[in-house]
A and B are shown apart, each in its own frame.
Chain A
């Protein structure tokens, strides 16, 4: 089965290259397609591919067919190499990417030096836009948005839900120690301090850990009410299980994306154990579709193209970002860097009209100032959206 899939994709790739010879306009798709980050890198790229399919079906951009050229950003040096290949050999008009912040930071430097626009639709680190690059645009919400949303949720919903004043809650922050976990945790701390919350413990740990019992014990000893964890899959599972087994039952656990948003995590932990756990992340699929028009069409297209349901919200967010950008480019004149920049700078889309819910307008440092995360909760084995109200499909369940 795997083999036939392999053959199919190979043939598809060959055909793609063949058609590319007389392609009209090329864009780069730079994601980690192999190595450790491959799974979600690939998932992200699928969103872009669906967006391109839709655009091509509707007649392309400026009447020309869009062709995607893949680049595999397996490590930072490779990200630079692939960015160079896309720009110099494939002569792409712009690069879309790239899920991983480190790859994005490395590759976008190359694009900036070559004066080619780089559209980031998935990497969350502050430094991606924080460098003030001229040709880098980011459509997705960031680590900062995640930290902000989580603190907002605590103040507005969690504290009243469990019947305590926000400042009386003891907050414990734990995070995996790579760039992702560290920067989200940093923002959580910052916004918590601004909101007057009481953070009693902040701890990093390596994502490849095999034991978190000491950490659990520490949180238990401090009597933490709300645990904030930013993590990948392995450590999410480990923490939730070990906390449960140690009899540590905080009033709320709020995950930050990564492992918390994935169905296999819930299956591994057990639906009973994960029930009630909150999560902040990109827009996911169980959401009020009045707030996210176009979501169902996307899921349909995804299932048709890849023969399975989306594995995470990464595809959706890349789809939304790419769709809006391509639509804007369609309205522009030509594919020169300046024309592309001019076209995307005109984008002004409000909340509640895209499939991801959030709007798009590039603000300071070309960051989408309307990008927002959403709050989800595991309820009966499903990850349902509970925050903000407009997007919620179910009320947040909290025990007093």
Chain B
């Protein structure tokens, strides 16, 4: 095992909470609730209500901003919607307990309407779009006075009691805020530890690889944004009842949106409990800092706040949770699984004979600008066959792959795949292809860097199994088969190129594909590994999977392929048995130039 340099295996983030952690967490939450009750003071109650509200909002934000990696700086839109809907309905005599859900429903509709077109925007663009939407909402709230009260805002009628969510006593708001925090945490935890959570993180890490693994990336992100918006709106309704007064400037505020995101950032973006931790640390500190610095010099408090933010970002980019897990690491090592011996490639079983066609590619055409990159390419793949796709660099092999896996739409021509039931389908999107059993790897490996090896493979396994335990079993089994057993708990970024290539294959294999598209899985790995990869591919074939492989390593092409297609400048220039093809002068010319052919002749 020379090819895998081992970063020390990090503890699996999702390997389920240990009992010790569960108790610690429960104790922590209980303490948060009990402290204000014991101190029994109005102001302390207020600080904790504020803390719970911010922690809940930040936890909800984190589902989109952290898990899905879509940096929303417009989350106050949903908070504001919840607040406005709640108060407008309350003024009509409807209890905020119902208004809360109405607000959540409106927020979900708005969230989907906003996000659907915006999801094609990544990183800063998404952030800017959400800011723009926030501004639009603020101006609209100012403009439609009849509904929103305009700039002067709305007030609630002071009707007290549980049914109106407004209280003279101080305990009930604390209970509600705490309850909302628990709900948000529970939802976030559920998402992160189930299929959708894996799919979200996979989408965040590598959208294309996630698509290839059969993840409907748009759908999962829309679900995430809907859940997040609904939770945010519900907290917004409660906070409005607590404030008893709302106005557009305070509800649809950019600084407020940034603040919500910041708690998550400081606590640990993308972790379940990071936002809570961030709020627990920051809310009291900023209260104290405001008291100490705020009253004495204009701006000092804000200056310190900004400076601290920069320092935190610079020196603990993974937030408090990152710090905690570093501290925790030493104690976790005992949990590390025993290194497993790698099972050699399974003993080859009897090879089944070739079946009927399973993939039909007909006259594909593709232009990039003036470049004709795919010119009338057509071929068929038979069941149980390995088809080699070779050609010089720039011949358009990967483009063809992209078209027969749904990542690129051809200008004309078609790709048909025979389903398990024997009927023919014409899939168009990566999700379609994945659904019908076409799996692919990428020439440039695309691991989900922040996930462990096991989690990486699980993303593939989720394509067939929705249950976490089943998916984990399949992932482990696949990992052992691919010789990745010892690194199950290591983060994917720690693997070497050979390990990553195998991870890439393992992820596809976990999807249990019927057709496998391999894009240069042997490039750049050493001789021993090439040999093993060949055996592995053969054993995959023998298990009934049909394979198309782009490959440069001739040894592999020759020993694997039943048939070879040679592509040059976007055209098929030769096809046939490997031995015949390599002797074809057109092929030699394409690879080595005219002079070589003449010299040989």
Q: Hey, which bits of chain A sit against chain B, CB under 8 A? A: 2, 6, 9-10, 13, 33-35, 38-39, 42, 70, 72, 74-78, 80-81, 84-85, 87-89, 102, 105-106, 109, 113-114, 125-127, 131, 177-183, 204, 206
Q: Could you give 7 example pairs across A and B, Cβ below 8 Å?
A: A9-B297, A34-B298, A70-B295, A76-B247, A81-B50, A81-B287, A85-B42
CB pair B243–A80 under 8 Å, yes or no, is: yes
Q: Is B194 an interface residue (CB 8 A)?
A: no
**CB within 8 Å for A102 and B42 given contacts A34-B294, A72-B295, A81-B47:** no
How long is the Cα–Cα vector from A233 to B61 in the complex, in angstroms? 36
**Interface SS, A side:** helix
CB pair B152–A33 under 8 Å, yes or no, is: no
CB pair A177–B142 under 8 Å, yes or no, is: yes
Q: Is B150 an interface residue (CB 8 A)?
A: yes
How long is the Cα–Cα vector from A350 to B21 in the complex, in angstroms? 70
How long is the Cα–Cα vector from A9 to B152 in the complex, in angstroms? 35
Q: Which of B155, B249, B297 sits near A105, CB closer than 8 Å? A: B155
Q: Which of A9, A78, A102 sits near B245, CB closer than 8 Å? A: A102
CB pair B42–A87 under 8 Å, yes or no, is: yes
Q: Which of B50, B298, B300 sits near A42, CB closer than 8 Å? A: B298
How long is the Cα–Cα vector from A81 to B152 in the complex, in angstroms? 21
Closest CB pairs A-B (n = 8): A88-B42, A85-B43, A182-B151, A84-B42, A34-B294, A179-B151, A81-B46, A84-B46
**Which residues on A sit within 8 Å (CB–CB) of B291?**
72
How long is the Cα–Cα vector from A80 to B239 in the complex, in angstroms? 12
CB pair A76–B245 under 8 Å, yes or no, is: yes
**CB within 8 Å for A179 and B152 given contacts A33-B295, A72-B290, A109-B245:** yes
How long is the Cα–Cα vector from A87 to B41 in the complex, in angstroms? 10
**Which residues on A sit within 8 Å (CB–CB) of B348?**
none
**Interface SS, B side:** helix
Q: Is B299 an interface residue (CB 8 A)?
A: yes
CB proximity of A168 to chain B, nearest CB, Å: 30
CB pair B151–A178 under 8 Å, yes or no, is: yes
How long is the Cα–Cα vector from A76 to B168 in the complex, in angstroms? 19
Of listed B168, B245, B291, B297, residue having the most chain A CB within 10 A: B245
As a 0/1 sequence over residues 40 to 62 of chain B, the CB contacts with chain A under 8 angstroms (1 = contact) are 01110111001000000000000
CB pair A183–B152 under 8 Å, yes or no, is: yes
Identify the closest chain B residue to A41 (Cβ). Answer: B298
Identify the closest chain A residue to B150 (Cβ). Answer: A182
As a 0/1 sequence over residues 468 to 508 of chain B, the CB contacts with chain A under 8 angstroms (1 = contact) are 00000000000000000000000000000000000000000
CB proximity of B176 to chain A, nearest CB, Å: 16
**Which residues on A sit within 8 Å (CB–CB) of B47?**
81
Q: Which of A6, A75, A109 sits near B250, CB closer than 8 Å? A: A75
**Which residues on B sit within 8 Å (CB–CB) of A182?**
150-152
**Which residues on B sit within 8 Å (CB–CB) of A38?**
298-299
CB proximity of B156 to chain A, nearest CB, Å: 9
CB pair A2–B297 under 8 Å, yes or no, is: yes
**CB within 8 Å for A131 and B295 given contacts A34-B290, A80-B46, A81-B43:** no
**Sample of 4 further A-B pairs with CB below 8 A, known A34-B290, A39-B298, A77-B50:** A35-B302, A80-B243, A102-B247, A182-B150
